[in-house]
Each structure stands twice: as C-alpha cells, then as structure tokens.
Amino acid sequence: MRTTRTICLLSFAPAVLAAQVASTRIREPSFVWLEPVLAEAQARAAQALSQIGPVLAAAQARTTRALAQMGPALARAQADLARSSERIAMSGWDWDLARSPLTADLVPPEPWAQQDPADQLYRDARRALNRENFSDAARLFGQIYDKYPRSSYAGDAYYWQAYAYYKRGTDQSLKRALEVLKLQSERSPNAKTRADARTLAARIQGELARSGDAQAAEAVTAIAGRAASVPPVPPVPGVPSTLGVPPMPATAGVRGGRRGRGEDRCESEDDIQTAALNALQQMDASRALPILKKVLARRDEGSLCLRRKAMFIVSQQQGAEAEQILLDAARSDPDGEVREQAVFWLSQVNSPSAVVALDSILRSAADPVLQDKAIFALSQQNSSRAKQALRDFALRPGVSDELREKAIFWIGQSNDPDRLTFLKTLYLQLKSQELREKILFSISQTEGKESSQWLLGVAGDVNENLELRKKALFWVGQSDYPLSELTTLYDHMPNREMKEQLIFVYSQRNEKAAVDRLMQIARTEPDRELKKKAIFWLSQSSDPRVAEFLASLLEKPD
C-alpha cells in the first residue's frame, strides 16, 4: 500500500468554516478514483451493491446472496444507509477532501416560475444535470444569468453551474467552479444557495489540494487554523442566548440524493408480485428464471416497475440462462434504467458473449449514461478482448471527454502489462489538458520505477504545460520514488513555480529527510516567498524538531 498525506476538512458551519488538517500517507488514493464505481449507484435495489463497489461485491458473494434473500425493499434501505454513512464521513473519502463527488447527487428544485423568460433554460439545464451531462448543464445554467440577469432563477443558477463544474471533476472545471461561486457572491449575495455555495467552495479547495495544488492546500490549511481559533461570540446582554437552537433546515430542493427515473411511482407500487418472485427464486431458481424472463419480455406500461425489480432478482442467479436474460435486457428493454441495471450486472459475468455485448453497446449506444456503465462493466472483465475494447474506445474519434476519461481510468486500474506503454502513447496523441491529467494519474498508479521516471520526464519538460508538469511532480511524490532523488531536484530546478511545487511535495512525505530538506530551504533559500512556503509547511509538521527550529528562526531572523 502507498501512503500519502491527506488534507481533510472535517466540518463546515454557515458563517465560519471549521476544519482540521490530518496527516496520513497511503500509497494510493483509496476511494478517490472509485468515482465511476460509486456513480453506479442509482438508489435502486438492483444497484444497491454498487454503493460498496463491484470489487467488494465479487469478493463477498455470500453477502450478496444474503441481501437478495432479504428482498429488494431491504436492499433499497441498505443503499440509503450507505449514502447516509458517506454523508457522515464528509471529512474523508478516506475522505481527505480528496478528488471526489459529493456523497449524494444534488437535485435542483423543480421549476417554479413558468412565466419567467429563463424557465425553459432552467428546465433544460436541470434535465442535463440530472442526466449527468455536466458539460451541457454548466453551459445552460451559465446562459440563465448571462441572458436573463433579472430572472428569478439567476441567483441560484451560479450555484448549480458551479456544482456541474464540480461534478465534472477536472482541475480546470474545479477552478472554474470557484470563479462562478465568486461571481455569485458578488452579484447575488442573497441567493438561497449562498450557504451551500460556501460549503461547496471549501470542498473544491480541498479536492484541488489533494490533486497537488499547493495554493489550494495552503488555503485549506490556513482556513482550518483560523477557524479553530475563533472564540464563540457571547450573547448580547438582554438578548436570549441562541445556544442549543437547532440550525435552520437547508433550502428546499437543494439537499438530498437523486431519485431514479420513475422511482416515486415504483416505490408506491404493490410489491406482492416482486415478493413472490423473490421467494420463488429462493425456493427453486430453475422455476423462477422462466417467469422472470417473461416478466422482462413485457412491454406494457404497467410492467415498468416490476421489470426493474425483476432485474435485481435475475442478477443474483448464475449460469447461461441468467446471463442471456441480462444480455437481452441490455440490448432491447425500452426502459433506460432496466438497460443500465442489466449492463451493470453484466460486469459480474465473465464470459466471451458478455464482452461482445458490452463492446457492441459501448460502440453503438447513444446514451452516455449507458456507455458509462458499459465502460465499467468491460473494465471488470478478465479478458484481452475486453481490454482491447477499452483501448479502442479511448482512441476513438468523437468520444466525449467525460467518457474517454472513464476509459483511461479503468485502463490504468487494470492488470494489463502493456497498459503503461499504451497510456504513454495516448498521452502524446491527446491535446486536452484535462485528459492528459487523467493519464498522468493513471500512470502514477502503475507499479515500477519506469512510471515514476516517465512522470519526472514530464515534470522536467520545459515545453510542457506548467500545470501538467506540477501535476506529474506531485504524483511522483506520492509514489515510492526515493526521496533522496527528489530532494536533489530542488537545486537544479530553474522554474520558481516548480520549486514551490517541490516544497509542497516534500511536505507530503513522512520521512525525516523531507523535514530536513524543508528546514534547509527555510534557512538558506534566498527567495523570501519560497522561504515562507517552506516555513508554512514546516509549521504543519508533527516532527518534534520543528518547534525548536522555528524558534531558532525567530531568534536569528534573516
């Protein structure tokens, strides 16, 4: 296991951000890059296990079957509990304010002003966000306040645009989200979402910090220190104290997890037939499968909810017949959610026919959500054809950046011995900075000195984009690359910003030699700003030598 210092914001308050910085080193960001796995959860019974990750689902087959025996209703409760636990764990994904989504998708309120000139734009933007088309959602929400600044939707449109950028998840989109939130504070300080905006801004800073942004890390750390030192404000004489008064509830419609398509209606449906099918499956699966196949072949409107629940029951079966039912549903069911569930559960079926079907869906499907599920499902297949399908998709012209990023991530997570060569080749072919950032991370997850040396080559390339160079240097610092070789880089690094990034990299290592190097920089560096950076990160260290060293600087200031 790798170790990496993580930066956490432990709590947020409406007026004062309270946070703490904790230091832990893990070799690999634990759940940060499992976003595609977590994204599989659609608050549906058929996808309850995706909340804890398909890898764990495969490893705990007995638990899976136990959950199935309890029935879809309990499975939904399990999914809700998982989401609630994630909210409680907002201080870390392992948390650490790592690069991650909010634990539950937020849903904009229903449209409320039909006569408003921006009403249709808001509806379109809201639909795009709910379909996880974050690029279009950000563009449409931005048009609301650009075209109709007096609209009743304009004030909150800033927040939802920033949220869409946030969900997009790249460094560029995160920084753009911060810019939009700043615009909201300047132009619409009384917007209903301002409290949520402050919390979102803090999370964004934390995510940027985790991905190697030294300025964001410093800002998060400084905010934490200030918040911890703010004394409580005593009540004004003659005015009753507000201690113990519960906080006001969040704005209606702003908080809350996303609901699946048609979930309200399906949750109110009579579950007698579903319970009977589930019971039959437990008694005699061979008798249940033909009935389930007929249920999934229905196309009448009244069968929608039953088909969705039947898909979960089928997914608990093994064998060729259950696999064929999943394949048929993935190809032909008219309901998007049923198709998505079928594709997800095919990720657990390691067979040539499943790979062929998933490859076909990935290449021909028009629904990006379904393609996303197919990418994940292929990543779980242990076959050379599945790996090649992901590579072909990553190279395919016209693919959206969002889907290409997912393919790159899963290629990097595979056990393919040729993945490093492929990713290095792909890096040279792609021009998008965001996609190149994803490749840098994926390469950093590849074991061996070759990957670290390649990243150092990117960091030292003066013709490369500066942000990419800093990112490459950061990921080398998170690896097992010898610290002795990293510390010698500082004196040979001509670029001032790269020196600043190296100081940040040293601060993330636990070795005593890293503290030694920071103390040396703090004592001898002629550039006062770099000296201040070193002193700042030393002040966050738990090394017992630091206090005495800082005291010596006070006694003999430069």
Torsion of CA 110, 43, 98, 205, to 10 degrees: 10
> Which of 468 and 201 is assigned the larger pLDDT?
468
Q: What are phi and psi of 298, to 5 degrees?
A: -65, 150
pLDDT in tens, 66-116: 333 434 333 334 434 333 333 333 222 222 222 333 335 688 999 998 889
Q: Helix (H, G, I), strand (E, B), or coil: what is residue 333?
A: coil
Tell which residue, 84, 106, 89, 123, has the closest CA to residue 200: 106
- CA 87 remoteness from chain centre: 14
The structure tokens listed for 71 are 């029935």
Query: And the tokens for 209?
Result: 């910090």
Q: Which candidate, 114, 117, 115, 141, places its Cα nearest to that of 127?
A: 141
Comparing C-alpha atoms, which of 90, 75, 98 is closest to residue 24? Answer: 98
Give yes or no for residue 448 having a pLDDT over 50: yes
pLDDT at 153: 94
Q: pTM, whole model, 2 decimals?
A: 0.61
- What are the residue boundaries of the structural domains of the chain, listed by start? 365-446, 454-558
Write down the H helix ranges in 414-482.
419-429, 433-444, 449-459, 466-477
pLDDT, mean of residues 244-260: 34
What number of other Cβ atoms are within 10 A of residue 558's Cβ? 10
Q: What is the pLDDT of residues 380-423, one digit of tens each?
A: 888 889 999 999 999 998 888 889 999 999 999 888 888 999 99
